[in-house]
């Protein structure tokens, strides 16, 4: 069986062991611990709506990015991917991961809208996880966009090389 890092094309180190996960987690925890209870309770619906909207909007972007990659695929492009990347499974991993984060973020957003007024400790935990999922999703969305641009650059080089060979 393949190790998680090789299965994900090196993304295990970039996700679970990456600094972005821990930076967003620590910052969210600090905000929840330090923030005033009344402020946290007053902005819960606004934060929840923002998360719900961003999470669902980014799901559309993930689907569009996947569509772009699928449109690029032909025999020659697959050969190029096999030369420079660990495989198609690994190339699809960033889309899976960001889609999962978008669902988590939207779920936390919905929970903030519907949660009501639980005890403050439970509420701070939910707000902290909610803020973390929001920040972490945006950070990983940047990586996904960078990844798609990399594919576009490789595809443009391939098209140019094919045009030069004609």
In a domain, 90, yes or no: yes
Question: Would you say residue 106 has pLDDT above 90?
Answer: yes
Quick one: average pLDDT of 94-121?
89
Q: What's the farthest any 2 CA atoms get from each other in the chain?
A: 70
Does the pTM surpass 0.75? The reply is yes
Q: Cα 62 to the chain's mean position, in Å?
A: 9
CA atoms within 13 A on the CB side of 1: 2
| pLDDT tops 90 at residue 103 | yes
| Domain contains 70 | yes
Q: What is the pLDDT of residue 85?
A: 58
How far, in whole angstroms, is CA 71 from its chain's centroid? 22
Cβ-based neighbour number of residue 58 at 10 Å: 22
Is-contact 89 71, C-beta < 8 A?
Answer: no
Q: Is residue 1 part of a domain?
A: no
The position carrying tokens 């606004």 is: 46
Q: Is the pLDDT of residue 22 over 70?
A: yes
Number of domains in the chain: 1
CA-based torsion, 87, 93, 94, 96: positive or negative? positive
Summarize the confidence of residues 18-37 as an average pLDDT: 86
Query: Using 50, 70 and 90 to split pLDDT, how confident is the model at 118?
Result: confident
**48 lies in some domain:** yes
What pLDDT digit, counting tens, does each position of 125-163 carry? 888 999 999 999 988 888 888 888 887 787 788 788 878
Predicted confidence band at 75 (pLDDT cuts at 50, 70, 90)?
Answer: confident
The whole-number pLDDT of residue 115 equals 86
Q: Which helix (H) or strand (E) holds 51?
A: helix 44-72
Dihedral sign from CA coordinates of 52, 54, 56, 57:
positive
Length of the chain: 166
Q: Does any domain span residue 165?
A: no
Q: How many CA atoms lie within 13 A of 90 on its CB side?
A: 20
Judge whether 83 lies within some domain.
yes
Q: Which of 138, 131, 139, 132 is nearest to 44 (CA)?
A: 131
Give pLDDT tens digits for 58-72.
Answer: 999 888 888 877 777
Q: Is residue 144 part of a domain?
A: yes
139 in a domain, yes or no?
A: yes
Determine the structural domain holding residue 121 and report its residue range.
Answer: 10-157
């Amino acid at each position: 069986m393949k190790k998680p890092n090789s299965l994900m094309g090196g993304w295990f180190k970039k996700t679970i062991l990456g600094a972005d996960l821990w930076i967003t987690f620590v910052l969210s925890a600090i905000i929840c611990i330090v923030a005033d209870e009344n402020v946290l309770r007053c902005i819960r619906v606004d934060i929840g709506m923002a998360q719900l909207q961003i999470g669902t909007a980014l799901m559309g972007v993930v689907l569009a990015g996947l569509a772009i990659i699928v449109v690029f695929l032909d025999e020659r492009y697959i050969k190029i991917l096999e030369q420079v990347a660990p495989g198609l499974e690994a190339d699809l991993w960033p889309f899976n991961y960001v889609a999962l984060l978008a669902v988590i973020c939207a779920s936390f957003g919905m929970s903030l809208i519907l949660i009501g007024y639980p005890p403050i400790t439970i509420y701070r935990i939910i707000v902290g996880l909610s803020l973390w999922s929001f920040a972490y999703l945006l950070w990983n969305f940047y990586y996904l966009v960078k990844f798609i641009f990399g594919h576009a650059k490789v595809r443009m080089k391939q098209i140019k090389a094919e045009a030069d060979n004609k």
